């Protein structure tokens, strides 16, 4: 990463103080919490690029207010700041900027520790594990999630669910199917206990078929094409058309599962739709999933269906330049 890009990524989090003292109304805590839910929804509709500037600017404002706030207002703003930093980290990760993602995951963990909120501290470690999942480091994912679950009985159900599902991804990276199923089955038993009193990290309630999405993704990573394809059909039936980015990622994974199940024509048919969504959302995750599809389709590289896929993927590559 060049110096200018690094400055852009870190600018909102590294504002030099001290700053002039100002009154901080406690109502601002609720304001930022309410805004957060809107950002989560917008992320599903827009993808990362249009939101990074907005969310990181709000994080910067929270950081400024924290420096003047005291007592419970300060603690509430720290909790909000950790949630905003986590979202910024996710947006950079979805945009394919792993340096930016790792930096903001570190910011999330720092503020979570300052807040002394055990649920947020666990959430911040799961965020770190998400980065490690994208880096393909299965053992690190498992270790981070085990650290969260060491004191599971004191954590909110949704934090435990997040840790279990992320650990399942780590298990799939090291080819442990039995552990994948055990972890996701345990998480499913906890799902009815989740409430939304904590305004952050509500993907398990907000995302249709949340745990089925994780299982299908893990199965695809394990090379279980038939099983993964069946699950993706089930999942996609419940995902609204408006959730463009998520639908595109899921469909790309469904296409790879179809190729693994030796259904290349079906895979290419799905890829046509994914290519359109990838151009609209500019999601690096989606492009990465299409690259995995290209690998799965190598046995048909010289066949007409393989050439069709190459033409489809070429439009995505041209559109991202």
Predicted local distance difference test score (pLDDT) of residue 12: 66
Predicted local distance difference test score (pLDDT) of residue 241: 85
Tell which residue, 184, 265, 186, 261, has the closest CA to residue 220.
261
Predicted local distance difference test score (pLDDT) of residue 2: 46
| pLDDT tens-digit series, residues 281-297 | 888 889 999 999 999 99
Minimum mean pLDDT range among 48-62, 166-180, 262-276: 48-62
Predicted local distance difference test score (pLDDT) of residue 6: 44
Predicted local distance difference test score (pLDDT) of residue 240: 87
CB 250 within 8 A of CB 213: yes
Segment holding 135, helix H or strand E: none
Predicted local distance difference test score (pLDDT) of residue 46: 72
Tell me which range, 42-51, 92-101, 254-263, 309-318, is most confidently predicted by mean pLDDT.
254-263
Whether the predicted pLDDT of 14 surpasses 70? no
Whether the predicted pLDDT of 320 surpasses 70? no
Rounded-to-10 torsion of CA 240, 200, 253, 174: -160
Predicted local distance difference test score (pLDDT) of residue 319: 60
> Concatenated DSSP letters for 142-155?
HHHHHHHHTTGGGS
Query: What's this model's pTM, rounded to 2 decimal places?
Result: 0.88
Question: Which whole number is the average pLDDT over 200-215?
Answer: 86
As a whole number of angstroms, the distance between CA 85 and CA 82 comes to 5
CA 37 to chain centroid, in Å, comes to: 15
Instruction: Delimit the domains of the chain by residue range.
Output: 8-13+23-116, 117-196, 222-321
Torsion sign (Cα): 280, 284, 167, 147: negative
């Amino acid at each position: 990463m060049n110096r200018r890009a690094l400055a852009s990524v870190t600018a909102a989090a590294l504002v030099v103080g001290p700053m002039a003292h100002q009154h901080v109304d406690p109502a601002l805590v609720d304001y930022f919490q309410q805004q957060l839910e809107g950002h989560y929804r917008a992320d599903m509709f827009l993808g990362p690029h249009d939101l990074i500037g907005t969310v990181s600017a709000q994080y910067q404002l929270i950081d400024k207010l924290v420096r003047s706030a005291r007592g419970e207002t300060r603690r509430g703003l720290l909790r909000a700041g950790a949630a905003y930093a986590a979202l910024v980290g996710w947006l950079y990760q979805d945009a394919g900027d792993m340096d930016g993602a790792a930096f903001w995951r570190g910011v999330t963990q720092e503020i979570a520790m300052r807040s002394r909120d055990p649920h947020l501290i666990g959430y911040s470690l799961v965020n770190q594990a998400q980065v490690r999942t994208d880096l393909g480091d299965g053992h690190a994912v498992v270790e981070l999630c085990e650290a969260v679950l060491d004191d599971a009985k004191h954590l909110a159900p949704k934090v435990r669910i997040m840790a279990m599902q992320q650990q399942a991804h780590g298990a799939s990276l090291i080819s442990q199917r039995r552990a994948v199923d055990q972890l996701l089955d345990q998480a499913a038993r906890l799902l009815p206990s989740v409430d939304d009193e904590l305004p952050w990290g509500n993907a398990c309630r907000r995302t249709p078929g949340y745990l089925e999405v994780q299982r299908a993704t893990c199965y695809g990573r394990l090379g279980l094409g038939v099983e993964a394809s069946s699950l993706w059909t089930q999942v996609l039936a419940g995902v609204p058309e408006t959730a463009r980015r998520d639908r595109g990622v899921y469909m790309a994974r469904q296409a790879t599962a179809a190729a693994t199940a030796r259904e290349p024509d079906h895979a290419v048919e799905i890829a046509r739709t994914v290519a359109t969504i990838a151009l609209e959302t500019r999601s690096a995750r989606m492009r990465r999933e299409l690259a995995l599809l290209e690998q799965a389709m190598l046995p048909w590289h010289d066949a007409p269906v393989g050439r069709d896929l190459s033409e489809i993927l070429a439009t995505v590559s041209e559109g991202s330049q």
